[in-house]
Amino acid sequence: MREQGIPLKTLAIYSTNINLTAILLRFVPDTTRHVYFHSWWNGIVSVLSSCSAARYLETVTYEYWSHYRRLLPMVELAESWREQSIVAGSKGMGPFENLPQFSIETTPFIGDELDESFADFTDRLKKPFEECGVKCSVRPMLRRLHWDFMGVSPVHSYFNYY
């Protein structure tokens, strides 16, 4: 175990550079309990799962600013984590050994219409988490076009999930 510096409890990352984010995640201290991501990149949770602090996390919140269909590979990833937990006979969800809550907020719209298969995606993603005792929520993202055009996210929304 590496020496701990400042005891970081909550980490919020607004990711615009995935390479820099991957480097940052390698140095997340084991004291971190809550991680919030705001990203357009759908592989960020996979990178998080490989960091040493993953086993200590209590909440992971992922605000994905793109259409949810790009998150379909995450269903397979969650299923593989479930299988990993079953084979190992461990609690939690794969590398997230102590994780009680996982949340995703994403866009279910095609133009201005709600995509009818969003409910199916939600059910498929929640199932492996819930089978491992992890509360999983998948919420539709409210449209925040003002922030989209500015290229920033309102900081006050980062901690409304805990």
Q: What does pTM read for this prediction? A: 0.77
Q: Tell which wins on pLDDT, 126 or 148.
A: 126
What is the predicted pLDDT for the residue at 145? 46
Q: What is the pLDDT of residues 39-74, one digit of tens each?
A: 877 788 888 888 889 999 999 998 887 778 888 888
Average pLDDT score, the chain: 80
> Read out DSSP for the chain?
-PPP-S---EEEEEES-HHHHHHHHHT--TT--EEEEEES-TTHHHHHHTSGGGGG-SEEEEEEEEEGGGGHHHHHHHHHHHHHHHHHT-SSBTTBTT--EEEEEEE-EETTEEPTTHHHHHHHHHHHHHHTT-EEEEEEPPP-HHHHHHT---GGGTTTT-
Q: Tell which wins on pLDDT, 141 or 138.
A: 138
Determine the Cα–Cα distance for residues 89 and 93; give it in Å rounded to an integer.
11
Q: What is the pLDDT of residues 1-47, one digit of tens each?
A: 455 566 889 988 887 788 888 888 888 899 999 999 888 777 888 88
Q: Tell which wins on pLDDT, 144 or 1.
A: 144
φ, ψ of residue 13 in degrees (nearest 5)? -125, 120
Neighbours of 60 (CB within 10 A): 23
Determine the Cα–Cα distance for residues 160 and 88; give it in Å rounded to an integer.
34
